[in-house]
């Protein structure tokens, strides 16, 4: 199954992007994870811009979402919510007939220096995706708190976190498999 992975962080040394690389390593063989790196190229959503014709970056984003069997979203938490770049990407992918997000099944993960990980941002993500016609599964969360101590040289080194991520991805694969069967 083709999974489109998205990091809600644009930072080069992002814990969330590193989490996606770890997910690619730890995912069941049936999941082929491709990391989308163009979120920073999307203009802020503006219906006037949309009415003039989608910019190439938006068209590429929507095509990538449409062609994926599922989404893996690494959701950072900024000020208790979603990052602007992630919310913007959701807004663009919620548009059109049918909207690229409509009927998709996403899986959320997230890392943060804070103790609670990205719990509030993932709650906001769940709400935003639901309104766009996209569900999250499995219902459990991967909340990597105190991230600086769990990553080294851009890689996820904390074994307990790696095991939890692997279990989460296996559960996601099972839900996706049952949805497509």
In DSSP terms, 155 is beta-bridged to 152
Residues whose CB is less than 8 angstroms from the CB of residue 47 and which lie 6 or more positions away in sequence, other chains included: none
pLDDT the model gives residue 179: 86
What is the rounded distance in angstroms from the CA atom of residue 59 to the CA atom of residue 175?
28
The H or E element that residue 33 is part of is strand 32-36
Taking CA atoms, 5 is separated from 19, 51, 63, in Å, by 10, 28, 14
pLDDT the model gives residue 55: 96
Positive or negative torsion for Cα 48, 53, 56, 59: positive
What is the rounded distance in angstroms from the CA atom of residue 162 to the CA atom of residue 29?
16
Digit-by-digit pLDDT tens for the chain (181 residues) are: 999 999 999 999 999 999 999 999 999 999 999 999 999 999 999 999 999 999 999 999 999 999 999 999 999 999 999 999 999 999 999 999 999 999 999 999 999 999 999 999 999 999 999 999 999 998 778 999 999 999 999 999 999 999 999 999 999 999 999 987 7
Q: Identify the CA nearest to 65 among candidates 141, 129, 139.
A: 129
DSSP 28: -
pLDDT the model gives residue 140: 77
């Amino acid at each position: 199954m083709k999974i489109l992975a998205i990091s809600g962080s644009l930072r080069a040394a992002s814990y969330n992007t590193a989490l996606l690389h770890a997910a690619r390593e730890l995912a069941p063989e049936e999941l082929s994870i491709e990391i989308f790196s163009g979120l920073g190229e999307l203009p802020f959503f503006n219906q006037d811009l949309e009415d003039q014709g989608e910019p190439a970056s938006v068209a590429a984003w929507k095509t990538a979402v449409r062609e994926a069997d599922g989404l893996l979203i690494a959701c950072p938490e900024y000020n208790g919510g979603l990052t602007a770049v992630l919310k913007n990407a959701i807004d663009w992918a919620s548009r059109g007939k049918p909207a690229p997000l409509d009927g998709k099944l996403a899986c959320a993960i997230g890392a943060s220096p804070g103790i609670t990980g990205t719990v509030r941002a993932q709650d906001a993500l769940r709400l935003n995706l639901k309104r766009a016609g996209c569900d999250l599964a499995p219902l459990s969360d991967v909340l990597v708190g105190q991230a600086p101590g769990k990553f080294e040289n851009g890689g996820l080194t904390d074994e307990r976190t790696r095991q939890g991520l692997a279990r989460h991805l296996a559960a996601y694969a099972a839900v996706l498999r049952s949805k497509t069967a």
